[in-house]
Amino acid sequence: MNLPARFRSWLKWIVNGQRLESEMETEVRFHLESYAADLVRQGLSQQEAVRQARIEFGGIESHKDAMRASVGVRWWGELGLDLSHGLRLLRKNRGFTAVAVLTLALGVGANTAIFSIVNAVLLRSLPYHDPDRLVRIYFNEPGVGLRDVPFSKPELDDLQTRAGVFEDVTPIFEGSENLTGAKQPERVEGVNGSFSYFSMLGVTPQIGRLFGPQDFAPGFAPEAVISDGLWRRAYGADPNVLGRTLRIDNDPLTVIGVLPRGFRHPGPTTSGDAEVFGAGGFSGDPFPPPMRGTRILVSGIGRLKPGLTLAQAQARLTAMAAQLRHDFPTDYPHQAQWAIEIQPLQGTLVGKVRPMLLVLLGAVILIVFIVSLNIANLLLARASGRQQEMAVRLALGASRSRMVRQMLTESMLLSLIGGAAGIATAVATLGFILRFVPSNVPRLNEVRIDWVVLAFALLISILTGLLFGLAPALHSAKVALSSAIREGGRGSGYSTKTGRLRDVLIVSELAFAVILMVGAGLLLRTLRDLLQENPGFNPTQVVTANTWLGNPNDPKTDPYLGIPGKAAFDRELQRRMKAIPGVELAAITSSIPTTNSNSNAVGGLRIERLAIEDRPVESSQDLRAERIRISPDYFKVLQTTLLRGRSFTEGDEDGKPPVAIIDESTANKYWPTGDPLGRQVRFGNDPTKPWTTVVGVIKDIKNDGLDIDGVPHIYVSVYQDPSKQVSVVLRTSLPATLLEPQIRHEIQSVDPGLPVFNVSSMNDILDRSLASRRFSADLVGGFAGLAVLLASIGIYGLLAYMVGQRSREIGLRMALGARRDDILRIFLRKGVALAGVGIVAGVVVSASTASMMASLLYGVRPHDPAVFLIVPLLLLAVAAVASYLPARRATKVDPMFALREA
């Protein structure tokens, strides 16, 4: 068949429908008149000829209809009719339309907003050249339970040259750096990689050039590439920035290029985006000589060779690891089972927030379900009212399919209006919504409403339209002619058939509401528990501030080199802090609780290998702990309980025997039976380092996050083990905002080149650490509340409708002696029974799916009995109230009035 020709003719009709209609008319009239003229010529009178012509032509309208049908545009014309009919109905029932469009706008809007985040974060490919070939490389020691351990330069070289699976690999150092030499001293996020970092990602500079092999230096290259943001902020977008010198941690670096506006480093940074990019060879000064066992590199990414699948590459890497273990038995102790693992880069970037986003997406989809069930119910009530209209039309010859189509067109019209309102809402409020999304969600800057999002929103609108349109449409198709006309005449609408359909809708609505409420209950309980969780210290009246002393590549430019110089700085800093009026106590730490999220950052908290006296390193026990450097008053400022032994003193300094304080977790893990006091530990595996003696045990401090326990920590004296990351903690009744200028002044009086950042109260910090949990709990909780509201409206509406329809029956019953209580009971029972079935169904579904949320919960089991008890009871109570109101109205029916009206 000639498909293009058909399509052309069809399209002609769609586009030129009006003109073609009139042409059709002209053509038919021409025929009639020509024939009539011929008949006149045969001797008929003009009037008789016209009559005869019409008779012989047949029904003009039905032929026209057949003509339209021939070119496949009849339904198009009917669609126009249905649409205008639907619009008229919507205008007539303003209340219904407003409720439906508003709830739909909310449902579709929420879906659009959440999906735009899911799309940007989880679905869209990373914005690099051929992103599917980019992988994150991990080194693991499964034999001792370690993942993501550091690696050495020779191991990096093996990946590059020996493995044969990578086009390129680069180690990654992330961290905060002090930037001087631009407009003003700043603390910026920096990234150091290899010289192929940019070519591997496939970036081209905005101006200047990026690193290449010609820049090679064994240590760090004296050049830097800066981000578009820094270029604009610090240099006013000056094109002559190339060749200028900026100082990063005191090292002079020449700017050689500016990155394009949208570029982002593919990894977590401590705060904000990376802005200064350096490159190095990782084998010369300041790096130690490249030895296989000198594992100084913390994180790596690579680009697979084209045509290689992840599994193939993984297999070759596993084989290479086995070969290396065999070749260098001293560097790879047998029990560690050293292994190399690769993961798609995208997954490693967004893996953490994936469960949260999926739960949110699930919640908004449930909401839109509930919204459409609610509308279906309203529509069904209306359809019952329209039964008579339908029956009459059927009797006059309309086909049932035609009527189903009309009902569906009306629903679609409604859902598309609601959908458009929803999309408009989402577009208008997306920026506002994003402000509440916790900043630990990566790629948020890429969130926008694009075609994929719009397509999703349209799909959701159409699906909801189908969902809530199908019930009344099918219902209208099943209208039994005679009974409908008769029933219609009597003004009753609650026939058994519609009744059952509406019951099913209410039951499913309640079931969905239960699922949402259980989800919300579990998340809110988790959040509540975390808020009440004892962090192991007293966070009220504690203010913290941070600075970073810089890590110059050239040791000669480091004013804080060596332990004594650093200790002098620490002591001076504390003296000045304590002198600020209103500050009772001051201390220093290398890590403020719950702030150290990026273990790959320079100065970030990292689980370190540990040796324990009398315990062979070769033992398969996983010996590791996090090391935190503190000043003597740290535990006093935090008011942490010292369980045994002593705290640090000013005397625990350089030259004295190294001492350590451990927390309960460490004590329980490594000395479950014996006394840890006086025992000795050593960080790293350098046997020439001195042992550190345990002098005290404190209660656990939740240093890694309120929802993380059991990580062993070992505290050491900052005077013996200096740290470039310096955070001050102050016990004071003054607010952070009031103290900030003084803290800044005092720190910069010691060294004007030091940046001061993140001055805030400890309570705010703890609060912020829960931001993402709070966000999802609040959001799902809000949706659950909305679901309950919608479900109770549904029950109320159904019963109120029933009462209205059955008022005659009620009147009759009462006239025959039924008491008001009996009447009340009939309707209450109906409402509560429906709710009961829905709740049971919802509980069953929740119970079987709750475990999918396990990764979002803390301290609460997915089948938490309290949640599973409270939610049904709460919903049942709401359902009872929603049923009681219409049921009471039933008892107010005046029997005389109801009977007379009938």
Partner 1 sequence: MEQIDLLQGTLDMLILKAVSLGPLHGYGVLLRIQQISGEQLEIQQGSLYPALYRLEHRGWITSEWGESDNNRKAKFYSLTASGRRQLHAETEKWNRMASLIASILRTTPEQV
Decide: is 161 part of the binding site for partner 1 (CB under 8 A): no
User: Residue 265 in contact with residue 191, Cβ under 8 Å?
Assistant: yes
Give whichever of 15 and 481 is closer to partner 1, judged by the CB atom.
15
User: Residue 876 in contact with residue 835, Cβ under 8 Å?
Assistant: yes
Decide: is 16 part of the binding site for partner 1 (CB under 8 A): no
> Which phi-psi region, left, alpha or beta, contains residue 247 (left: φ > 0; alpha: ψ -120 to 50)?
beta
> Could you give the C-alpha distances from 802 to 131, 209, 303, 789, 797, in angstroms and in order?
59, 76, 66, 20, 9
Binding region for partner 1 (CB under 8 A) out of 58-66, 465-473, 724-732, 834-842 = 58-66
Give whichever of 26 and 245 is closer to partner 1, judged by the CB atom.
26
Q: Please choose, from the candidates 796, 864, 870, 876, the residue with its C-alpha nearest in 3D space to the C-alpha of residue 835.
A: 876
Residue whose entry in the numeric block shows the structure tokens 């977590």: 268
Decide: is 69 part of the binding site for partner 1 (CB under 8 A): yes
Among 11, 47, 48, 57, binds partner 1 (CB under 8 A): 57
Number of neighbouring beta carbons within 10 Å of residue 896: 11
Q: Which two tokens stand for residue 240?
A: 């002559």
Give whichever of 58 and 674 is closer to partner 1, judged by the CB atom.
58
**What is the distance between the alpha carbons of residues 866 and 222, in angstroms, rounded to a whole number?**
61
Give whichever of 41 and 490 is closer to partner 1, judged by the CB atom.
41
**Identity of the amino acid at 540:** T
Q: Please choose, from the candidates 526, 509, 569, 543, the residue with its C-alpha nearest in 3D space to the C-alpha of residue 638.
A: 543
Among 11, 14, 15, 60, binds partner 1 (CB under 8 A): 60
Residue 31 CB, nearest approach to partner 1 (Å): 5
Element (H, E) at 543: strand 542-548
User: Residue 112 in contact with residue 429, Cβ under 8 Å?
Assistant: no
Give whichever of 28 and 83 is closer to partner 1, judged by the CB atom.
28
Number of residues in the chain: 902
Chain positions 72 to 111 lying near partner 1, rule: CB under 8 A, are: 72
Give whichever of 24 and 480 is closer to partner 1, judged by the CB atom.
24
Residue whose entry in the numeric block shows the structure tokens 């320079």: 602
Binding region for partner 1 (CB under 8 A) out of 6-14, 414-422, 654-662, 795-803 = 6-14
Among 14, 22, 25, 31, binds partner 1 (CB under 8 A): 31
**What is the distance between the alpha carbons of residues 794 and 512, in angstroms, rounded to a whole number?**
13
Give whichever of 31 and 819 is closer to partner 1, judged by the CB atom.
31
Among 14, 15, 22, 30, binds partner 1 (CB under 8 A): 30
Binding region for partner 1 (CB under 8 A) out of 25-33, 81-89, 98-106, 621-629 = 25-33
Number of neighbouring beta carbons within 10 Å of residue 430: 18
User: Residue 682 in contact with residue 720, Cβ under 8 Å?
Assistant: no
Eight-state DSSP code of residue 676: -
Residue 439 CB, nearest approach to partner 1 (Å): 60
Give whichever of 35 and 671 is closer to partner 1, judged by the CB atom.
35
Decide: is 23 part of the binding site for partner 1 (CB under 8 A): yes
What is the total count of residues that contact partner 1 (CB under 8 A)? 30
Element (H, E) at 627: strand 624-630
Phi and psi (nearest 5°) for 285? -50, 135
Give whichever of 25 and 894 is closer to partner 1, judged by the CB atom.
25
Binding region for partner 1 (CB under 8 A) out of 67-75, 295-303, 444-452, 692-700 = 67-75
User: Residue 165 in contact with residue 308, Cβ under 8 Å?
Assistant: yes
Among 25, 48, 56, 822, binds partner 1 (CB under 8 A): 56
User: Residue 847 in contact with residue 815, Cβ under 8 Å?
Assistant: no
**What is the distance between the alpha carbons of residues 299 and 598, in angstroms, rounded to a whole number?**
11
Among 25, 59, 125, 328, binds partner 1 (CB under 8 A): 59
Eight-state DSSP code of residue 601: B
Residue 19 CB, nearest approach to partner 1 (Å): 11
Decide: is 9 part of the binding site for partner 1 (CB under 8 A): yes
Burial class (CB in 10 A: 0-12, 13-18, 19+), 360: buried
Residue 77 CB, nearest approach to partner 1 (Å): 14
Residue 381 CB, nearest approach to partner 1 (Å): 42
Residue 6 CB, nearest approach to partner 1 (Å): 6
Decide: is 691 part of the binding site for partner 1 (CB under 8 A): no
Q: Mask: binding to partner 1, 537-576, rule CB under 8 A, as x and -?
A: ----------------------------------------
Element (H, E) at 693: strand 692-698
**Identity of the amino acid at 579:** A
Among 22, 46, 70, 429, binds partner 1 (CB under 8 A): 70
Give whichever of 67 and 812 is closer to partner 1, judged by the CB atom.
67
Among 35, 96, 138, 691, binds partner 1 (CB under 8 A): 35
Give whichever of 31 and 892 is closer to partner 1, judged by the CB atom.
31
Give whichever of 57 and 897 is closer to partner 1, judged by the CB atom.
57
Among 19, 63, 334, 820, binds partner 1 (CB under 8 A): 63
Decide: is 11 part of the binding site for partner 1 (CB under 8 A): no
User: Residue 704 in contact with residue 596, Cβ under 8 Å?
Assistant: yes
Among 41, 42, 43, 58, binds partner 1 (CB under 8 A): 58
Give whichever of 40 and 485 is closer to partner 1, judged by the CB atom.
40
Eight-state DSSP code of residue 288: P
Decide: is 42 part of the binding site for partner 1 (CB under 8 A): no
> Could you give the C-alpha distances from 777 to 89, 368, 527, 781, 850, in angstroms and in order?
40, 18, 7, 6, 15
Binding region for partner 1 (CB under 8 A) out of 59-67, 219-227, 426-434, 839-847 = 59-67
Residue 74 CB, nearest approach to partner 1 (Å): 11
User: Residue 407 in contact with residue 479, Cβ under 8 Å?
Assistant: no
Binding region for partner 1 (CB under 8 A) out of 51-59, 223-231, 778-786, 821-829 = 51-59
3-state secondary structure of 273: coil
**What is the distance between the alpha carbons of residues 406 and 78, in angstroms, rounded to a whole number?**
9
Decide: is 71 part of the binding site for partner 1 (CB under 8 A): yes
**What is the distance between the alpha carbons of residues 621 and 139, in angstroms, rounded to a whole number?**
18
Residue 403 CB, nearest approach to partner 1 (Å): 24
Decide: is 19 part of the binding site for partner 1 (CB under 8 A): no
Q: Mask: binding to partner 1, 724-753, rule CB under 8 A, as x and -?
A: ------------------------------
Residue 69 CB, nearest approach to partner 1 (Å): 7
> Could you give the C-alpha distances from 268 to 265, 274, 299, 393, 757, in angstroms and in order?
8, 9, 11, 65, 19
Decide: is 67 part of the binding site for partner 1 (CB under 8 A): yes
**Identity of the amino acid at 621:** Q
Q: Please choose, from the candidates 142, 234, 248, 242, the residue with its C-alpha nearest in 3D space to the C-alpha of residue 191.
A: 248
Q: Please choose, from the candidates 795, 862, 875, the residue with its C-alpha nearest in 3D space to the C-alpha of residue 830.
A: 795
Element (H, E) at 879: helix 865-891
Q: Which two tokens stand for residue 122?
A: 């989880």
Decide: is 28 part of the binding site for partner 1 (CB under 8 A): yes
Residue 45 CB, nearest approach to partner 1 (Å): 20
Decide: is 10 part of the binding site for partner 1 (CB under 8 A): yes
User: Residue 166 in contact with residue 230, Cβ under 8 Å?
Assistant: no
Binding region for partner 1 (CB under 8 A) out of 31-39, 579-587, 626-634, 861-869 = 31-39
Decide: is 397 part of the binding site for partner 1 (CB under 8 A): no
Decide: is 37 part of the binding site for partner 1 (CB under 8 A): yes
Whether residue 286 has a cis bond before it, omega within 30° of 0: yes
Phi and psi (nearest 5°) for 63? -70, -40
Instruction: Give contact residues for partner 1 (rule: CB under 8 A).
Output: 1-2, 4-6, 9-10, 23, 26-28, 30-31, 33-35, 37, 56-60, 62-63, 66-67, 69-72
